[in-house]
Amino acid sequence: MKHIVKIMTLLVAIAAFWIGLLQMSVIPSSHTWLLPLYLIVSLGCYGLLMVGVGLMQFPTCPQEALLLQQDIVEAREFLKQRGVDVGSD
């Protein structure tokens, strides 16, 4: 619930800022109407950047890979004991 309140507060603040710019005419009207579009495009670019950074810094876990391989070997042995054909190695 707290996360929704933060998002709604941010949206209200952005809307108030946008309406304030429209009322004060600090920025030309033709540019002010495009601000929500600029905001959406900026958020999309930020999201893509964060996904790219996350992919570049994806952690490798060699210890976990070894544990997974051991689990696979144990599972195959267990299934072979039960008479299940697990295929070739």
Q: How far is CA 50 from the centre of its chain?
A: 7
Are the C-beta atoms of 51 and 37 separated by less than 8 Å? no
Position 87 scores a pLDDT of 77
Q: Residues 31-67: pLDDT tens digits?
A: 777 777 888 898 899 989 999 988 888 878 888 889 9
For residue 20, what are its two tokens? 């304030």
* Cβ contact 30:24 at 8 Å: no
d(CA 86, CA 76): 6
pLDDT, position 75: 93
Indicate the domain borders of the chain: 1-33, 40-83
> 47: which 2 tokens?
């999201």
Residues 6+ apart with CB under 8 A from 22: 29, 32, 33
